[in-house]
Amino acid sequence: MKVLIACEYSGAVRDAFIARGHDAMSCDLLPKDVPGPHYKGDVFDVIDDGWDLMIAHPPCTYLTVSGNRWMKPEYADRFPTRQQDRLDAIEFFMKLYEAPIAKVAVENPVGIMSKVFRKPDQYIHPYQFGDPHSKKTGLWLKGLKPLEHTELVEPEFYIGKDGRRDPMWHFESLGMSPLERMKHRSKTFPGIAKAMAEQWG
């Protein structure tokens, strides 16, 4: 299969497909983190290049429910473009989903797309695929079946002094630079990448 991994610079999903013999390429505005086929630029430059499958990871900054508090009127002066940024993010998400590709999966955390578009076909966590982390992620699918869980493990958490639990992957990123923190939090876990390649490839 010819596979496009949109909005990925880590190579995690791309390399999982390559390992199974597929012709896969990642694409992002950022350069690739590891060697491998990668287009640095706008995904819509290459969207019509005859792909059989696209897995897209559009940025969630303006789509996730955790960012809703910044949409309140009292933050308008601090974030004057926030409303338009959200509209642009919704449009980008929908253009990816509606791309002229037979099989499409668009991934995003819990967010507003469930209301402005539709609910995802499924929610998954890394701990359902062998990685001990909790991170609820939605998959909007076109021409694909929901992923079947491969290995259920116990998720790990950091427990603060106040007793509050923080997923370990999230806690580990707190001391990183803004760019590295963004990369760490957006990377697809190996178990999910492997499941995508095995079940959709």
The pLDDT of residue 25 is 98
Structural domain contains residue 92: yes
Structural domain contains residue 161: no
Structural domain contains residue 138: yes
Predicted confidence band of residue 125 (pLDDT cuts 50, 70, 90):
very high
The count of structural domains within the chain is 1
Structural domain contains residue 15: yes
CATH number for the domain that contains residue 59: 3.40.50.150
Q: Evaluate whether 128 touches 155 at the Cβ level (below 8 Å).
A: no
Structural domain contains residue 120: yes
Integer Cα distance of 66 and 61 in angstroms: 9
Structural domain contains residue 178: no
The pLDDT of residue 79 is 60
Structural domain contains residue 166: no
Token pair, residue 177, equals: 């630079």
Q: What is the mean pLDDT of residues 169-175?
A: 82
Integer Cα distance of 199 and 201 in angstroms: 6
Q: Is 14 exposed, middle or buried (0-12, 13-18, 19+ CB in 10 A)?
A: buried
Predicted confidence band of residue 168 (pLDDT cuts 50, 70, 90):
confident
Predicted confidence band of residue 17 (pLDDT cuts 50, 70, 90):
very high
CA 50 from centre of chain: 22
Residue 103 scores a pLDDT above 70: yes
Structural domain contains residue 181: no
Q: What is the mean pLDDT of residues 118-125?
A: 98
Q: pTM of this prediction? A: 0.90
DSSP 162-200: TS-EEEHHHHTTTTS-HHHHHHHHHSPPHHHHHHHHHHH
Range of the domain at 192: 2-151+186-200
